Structure 1
Amino acid sequence: MQTPERSHSVRLAAHDDLAGFKAAVRRLVAQQLPPAAVQWQMAGDGDLFDDAPPPEPAAAPAAPFRLPAEMVALLDHAALHADPGRFALLYRLVWRLLAEPGLRDDPLDADRLLAERMARAVRRDMHKMTAFVRFRPLPGARHMAWFEPEHHTLVATAPFFARRFAQMHWAILTPGRSAHWDGQALAFGPGARREDAPGPDAGEQLWLTYYAHIFNPARLKPAMMQKEMPRRYWKNLPEAQLISPLMHAAAQRSGRMVEDGASDPQHRRPAASIALRLDQRPLETAAPGTLAALRLATAACRACPIGQHATQAVHGEGRPGAALMLVGEQPGDQEDLRGQPFVGPAGQLLERALQQLGWPRDALYLTNAVKHFKYELRGKRRLHKTAGQKEAAACSQWLEHEIGLVRPRAAIALGATAARSLLGHAVAVGEARGRWLRRADGLPVLVTLHPAALLRMDTPDPGAAFAGWLADLRQATPIMATDEDPADRLPQHDRRHGATGPGGLARRAI
């Protein structure tokens, strides 16, 4: 077998010239040049191939061809590996994929295994760059970082930093390439030296202090830590100077933590919240079988953990005999502090809807399926957290008592939690909104969105979303003026199945 002449040379512009590599592969395949007849070079590396002929003049772009999507992704990553023989390997793999279609289903092929190992190494290197780049400030509100990737991954990883630090002007220097972001566009330049990057600044000491304080000696796993933060990166990480001392002192610190014992958790609340809780502890009594008595009983409920941390129980508001009962999910931050339902941002949107519908608030009964505010602390802020099914079930007795005492002609379920609590089963609000359903006791229930869902809704036309919500609510307007059951005019079929659309027509998906 004769050795093919080294007459076909491909010179790429850079080690990460992925576009040039793909264009060359298309051209070589179109010319039917086998892998053994092709040499791959980098610009500036001609001294390694002094006996090679000059590269062929540029030809017209060749037509693309199709490969399995997973193989294209494999090529994109493996081509950035530092192995100088990667381009020859990948072109050979492409050539074989076109000639041997069964290769795509052979996970044990030697060429494919090697390419996959290269791709994994490149993806890991990209991940480490996103984790271990440390920017330092420069005059003029600019920032610069030095990083030494193991492979040619800067160009592929730089868009992550452009998205993550879009408002900051920055540069990342590496030995092979540099990336620059001016707030508008990415630009790439030649490599740099470690000396070109700035040294430590005054703010870096704050980071080191923070890092030392969050180090938990009881959770120290040196092998796992070095797997995720290999030692080769330590020389460019400011916090690396602390790692060895913290590791050596971990055993002593863990011992002191055990000797000190556990501390009782503190549930922090705003000062106003604490004052309200102290001032509003019910000392009065109320006649049994009244809403006032139910309010006192609800305030003392600790059937689920929410009641231990909320400021107070938020009971319903309204009068017995109200035509409509509006049921939400749970009180929010403002409702928890003031002890009234629907007084926060969602309540303000509901108030706007009531005004447009012409429904007097004092003719309604407003309440929630869950009576305490469930939240998650973020600094000094209390962020709403959806109550679980067990917590809603623990509160269901209070809602049922309210329904029995108020005796509304109909109820409106604002959101999925309210619908489940009223109807006793899960309801897909997106499908059931605007429809009348019937409880086992015969109470009609209109299902629609919670006003908070409108506030969170990502839509280009909030006005149309609000108008659609009003259309749902408007179906209950006749209940406010008459004693008519909203299902009296419905066909018998729809009564039996308990779901109708506007005008008594059943809705169906088409």
Structure 2
Amino acid sequence: MRRVVLPEIGTFEAWRDEARALLGAGVPPEEVLWHRGAAEADLFAEALPPVRGGAVTVPKGFVDLARLVVWHRDPERFARLYGLLWALGHSRGLLEDRGDPRIDRLRRMAKEVSRDRHKMTAFVRFREIGDPAATRRRFAAWFEPSHYILELTAPFFAKRFGDMDWSIFTPDLTAHFDGFEIRFAPPEARPELPDDAAEELWRTYFRNIFNPARLKIGAMQAEMPKKYWRNLPEAPLIPELIAEAQSRAQAMGEAAPSLPPIRAERITERLRAPEAPAPVGDRDALLSGLAGCRRCPLWQNATQPVAGEGPLDAPLMIVGEQPGDQEDLAGRPFVGPAGQLFDTVAARAGLKRDRAYVTNAVKHFKFAPRGKRRLHQSPNSGEIAHCRWWLDMERQLVRPKLIVAMGASAAESLTGDSRRIGTRRGALEHAPDGTPVMVTWHPSYLLRLPEGARSAAEAAFEADLRRAAALVAQGEGAADTKGA
């Protein structure tokens, strides 16, 4: 039986070198006894000369696992790691087997060490022990970790507190930092650390940020176990704060204002009131108001607002999504590729554009710049809601008998429903005031379809426009007959 004694400082490197040599020499796990620091003699073990083995390669995941597990307090940790290392030589994929009890145990040990490191970085409290007037101030702290993590965690403090000299004392090891390097030394008795004037300020702060209404004792102790309390300056306050929590939470509730301030009430009333558009006497008033629209941020990047166009006595209103790049530059709706496709299909369907009022649900072009290009972006629900003000004004001016909503944005603006157009197209729905609304595709959607699918969708779009033209013609015919 071979006995391996590892040093208390540099334990990981020492274990790695010993394990590499033993594995290379073919020494099985059952023939090795591992110890850290001074070890009692074992009747069945002897200190044999160091072995020399060949080159050994292991998965990186094992090295990362071992870097944590070697600092665990389990006395069998080195044997467990070497046993897994030996098994990996026969099954390289073993490390990924989460069901293997050896892997599960080592991963849980690594997690416990990581958690202990986190607690140390959170609960170490330094106190000043040097001359405050010195060029470099000196501090010290006492901490009692659950595992041998000081050597593993000390670099964190050197990086975070590099502008001061410090020492951290633990029952297992001591670390000293002088601004250049970390030096480890054997453990010392717990030092008598002086009171720190800043701790009273910290206790005042802690007392004031403690929220009794959100107190959960179980969760608090899970994050800050009682074993750390005796070394925390704020810990003496905790029992008192817990005892007072219920009465303080009740007092906070009683002190809360029962009525909102007047300014809040006025804002609430304004937000609650429906934003009905003011009466519009003519198109010029509409254009003048739209030119100064600042209801949403889209005006900031657009060239100009694009109002609808067409006869104000049109029985049919066509509503699209928003101006595109060419519409934004020209100041007119549906003059780009989508508008040209609409004109073509509408002509085939017998729908006369010069007898329809054509507009958009959103009046400013929303886009994302890409070099010299401006890529279309769909308006969101907030932008559609803000722009509904202007669409309602146009509807007041035109008072159409039928509205064709092309695309989801137009459908949402007119009906409040943005569900998939494919399940709704061709059907008659209604605006809040009862005006019939026919939902159909937007021409830009057709332009994005592959050639095979586009012909069928375009035929359906044409059928919808044909039906809209027929409904308008029927309505006009009925009105003429009634007038005669």
Q: So what's the TM-score if we normalise by structure 2?
A: 0.55
Q: How does 1:381-396 map to 2 (within 5 A)?
A: 394-396=296-298
| Alignment partners' CA distance in 2, 1:241 and 1:222 | 15
C-alpha contact (below 8 Å) 2:129/2:194 kept by paired residues: no
Which of 366, 369, 373 aligns to 1:424? It is 366
Kindly provide the amino acid, as one letter, of the partner of residue 79 in structure 1: V
| Alignment partners' CA distance in 1, 2:300 and 2:82 | 71
Aligned to 1:31: 25
Aligned to 1:49: 42
Aligned to 2:221: 226
> Could you give the per-residue CA deviations for residues 420-469 of structure 1, whole angstroms, max 9, x where no partner exists?
x98623x3x6xx34x355889xxxxxxxxxxxxxxxxxxxxxxxxxxxxx
Aligned to 2:166: 170
Ranges in structure 2 where 5+ consecutive residues have no aligned partner: 264-283, 307-327, 331-362, 378-446, 449-484
Matched, 1:76 2:59: no
Q: CA deviation at 1:235?
A: 1.2
| Alignment partners' CA distance in 2, 1:438 and 1:229 | 52
Using CA pairs under 8 Å that are at least 6 residues apart, name the structure with larger relative contact order, 1 or 2. Answer: 2
Kindly provide the amino acid, as one letter, of the partner of residue 149 in structure 2: T
| Alignment partners' CA distance in 2, 1:185 and 1:395 | 55
Matched, 1:200 2:195: yes
Name which of structure 1's ranges 170-179 and 221-230 shifts more when overlaid on structure 2: 170-179
Kindly provide the amino acid, as one letter, of the partner of residue 243 in structure 1: I
Distance 1:248 1:48, change over 3 A: farther
> Could you give the per-residue CA deviations for residues 318-371 of structure 1, whole angstroms, max 9, x where no partner exists?
xxxxxxxxxxxxxxxxxxxxxxxxxxxxxxxxxxxxxxxxxxxxxxxxxxxxxx
Structure 1 residue matching 2:116: 3-state secondary structure: helix
Matched, 1:128 2:119: yes
> Could you give the per-residue CA deviations for residues 279-316 of structure 1, whole angstroms, max 9, x where no partner exists?
xxxxxxxxx99xx9999x67xx6x5xxxxxxxxxxxxx
Aligned to 2:242: 247
Ranges in structure 1 where 5+ consecutive residues have no aligned partner: 1-5, 268-287, 304-393, 411-420, 441-495, 498-510
Distance 1:294 1:96, change over 3 A: same
Distance 1:396 1:145, change over 3 A: same
Q: How does 1:360-379 map to 2 (within 5 A)?
A: none
Aligned to 1:359: none
Kindly provide the amino acid, as one letter, of the partner of residue 158 in structure 1: A
C-alpha contact (below 8 Å) 1:146/1:172 kept by paired residues: yes
Aligned to 2:3: 9
| Alignment partners' CA distance in 2, 1:190 and 1:438 | 67
Q: CA deviation at 1:92?
A: 0.7
Identity level (%): 37
Kindly provide the amino acid, as one letter, of the partner of residue 65 in structure 1: T
Aligned to 1:345: none
Which of 139, 146, 149 aligns to 1:150? It is 146
| Alignment partners' CA distance in 1, 2:239 and 2:3 | 50
Distance 1:93 1:403, change over 3 A: same
| Alignment partners' CA distance in 2, 1:128 and 1:75 | 20
Q: Which has the larger radius of gyration?
A: 2
C-alpha contact (below 8 Å) 1:208/1:239 kept by paired residues: yes
Q: CA deviation at 1:180?
A: 2.1
Distance 1:154 1:197, change over 3 A: farther
Which of 84, 95, 107 aligns to 1:116? It is 107
C-alpha contact (below 8 Å) 2:22/2:52 kept by paired residues: no
Structure 2 residue matching 1:10: 3-state secondary structure: strand
Kindly provide the amino acid, as one letter, of the partner of residue 3 in structure 2: S
| Alignment partners' CA distance in 1, 2:48 and 2:144 | 32
C-alpha contact (below 8 Å) 1:148/1:174 kept by paired residues: yes
Q: CA deviation at 1:232?
A: 0.9
Structure 1 residue matching 2:64: 3-state secondary structure: helix
Kindly provide the amino acid, as one letter, of the partner of residue 49 in structure 2: E
C-alpha contact (below 8 Å) 1:136/1:200 kept by paired residues: yes
C-alpha contact (below 8 Å) 1:172/1:179 kept by paired residues: yes
> What's the RMSD between the two structures over aligned residues?
3.6
Q: So what's the TM-score if we normalise by structure 1?
A: 0.53
Aligned to 1:98: 89
Paired residues in the alignment total 302
Q: CA deviation at 1:398?
A: 5.5
| Alignment partners' CA distance in 2, 1:294 and 1:21 | 77
Matched, 1:66 2:58: yes
Q: CA deviation at 1:244?
A: 0.6
Q: CA deviation at 1:182?
A: 2.1
